[in-house]
Structure 1
Amino acid sequence: MIPPLVGIKEFAELLGWDKARLSTKYNRQRTGANVRPLLPEPVQVLAATPIWTLEQAKAYKRIIDGK
């Protein structure tokens, strides 16, 4: 069974960020910039679009919220 998946738009919405902010952070991390906290590794990249599981996105939100 495939878990629920999210792209940049859905991940950003879950964080309460705009899409551009998350995209910039992802691209900086991907090119080796020092980004904290690190975004989870996408489970797949389709046509240069990263895809994460919903659980990865929720876990990242807990990290940035300090929970």
Structure 2
Amino acid sequence: FERTGDERWLERARSFAVHALEQVARLRATRGRGRYSLWTGDLGVALYAADCLEAQARYPIPETW
């Protein structure tokens, strides 16, 4: 979205974020715990979803928080 300005990409990213959040909730309920990796765990999904809400793409490192 950031490169093209095309709203379709933002909507696709938001749909993917919702899917990922549902997957995190489902796996947390199944396993009783979450995943703690920044890139593939719950925190990564939360950061991705937040970026989708704000329509910004940031690399998740402390300098961008």
Tell me if both proteins adopt one fold, taking TM over 0.5 as the criterion. Answer: no
Return the structure number with greater strand share.
1
